[in-house]
Structure 1
């Protein structure tokens, strides 16, 4: 059975022109993506993104604008669904209280997620795992030139 998998992600860019990335391990696999996740039934996109930031980053955010919506076919890496991802520019309402890492997949004991800031001037498509995130990295780099 095929179905749509709607995902929503936030591009949080700090005053040093760095974007927040999430390194994760799920289903026995390491991957890097932007903070965010799946839309739940009955939930709006922005409510979903706010919920995901609270769940993942323990942070409240404000959405400042739409950045990108998937415009090509992408099959999920984890099941038979077709992924549709929506990316928003966001800002935190209070400074983030996260233990930021500098190395990829630098997980604390019994935690399968860590966060890193990566300068947009230095980021490249290989810094993220999934096809749509790679497209977003390319667009981010074009937006700052």
Structure 2
């Protein structure tokens, strides 16, 4: 079984109400909650990758405000034999957000093998139980520590 590094990049989009955007996703029967973003493509820088992910997932352009966190502990992928390295940036949208905002987890529109929906969650209410993956849980702890 081949082992490799899987570099991922995520955006922490916080609105004027101190709410953060989270993504409910379902892929081939697996459900998870994470921050918007995803895998870096070969030949792509972190910033370009994050901007591409926001256009693909949110149909919105973002500006990077600052680096927030990079994985500093070992994480094996939940989906394959790779080691995950995730980089998180605080971002702000430079184009309007034109997608439905949900209030209930996994409230998907339509059907299919790959589904996604977005919710705003107040950072003061956000807990590690609100996200699925270990690195996102660490980011939630760090966000809460800033309060």
Q: TM-score range, shorter-chain basis? A: over 0.9
User: Which digits, 9 at most, give the CA deviation of each residue in 1:79-116, with x for residues without a partner?
Assistant: 00000000000000022111000000000112610000
User: Which digits, 9 at most, give the CA deviation of each residue in 1:1-37, with x for residues without a partner?
Assistant: 1100000000000000000000000131110000000
1:123 aligns with 2:103: no
- The match for 1:41 is 42
- After TM superposition, the structure 1 = structure 2 runs for residues 1-145 of structure 1, keeping only pairs within 5 Å, are 1-110=2-111, 112-144=115-147
| CA-CA distance at 1:63 after TM superposition | 0.3
Distance in 2, Cα, partners of 1:27 & 1:40: 21
Distance in 2, Cα, partners of 1:29 & 1:130: 13
User: Which digits, 9 at most, give the CA deviation of each residue in 1:34-84, with x for residues without a partner?
Assistant: 000000000000000000000000000000000000000000000000000
Gaps of 5+ in 1: none
RMSD: 0.7
Bigger drift between 79-88 and 22-31 goes to 22-31
Gaps of 5+ in 2: none
TM-score (norm 2): 0.96
Runs of 4+, deviation exceeding 4 Å? none
Secondary structure at 2:102 match in 1: coil
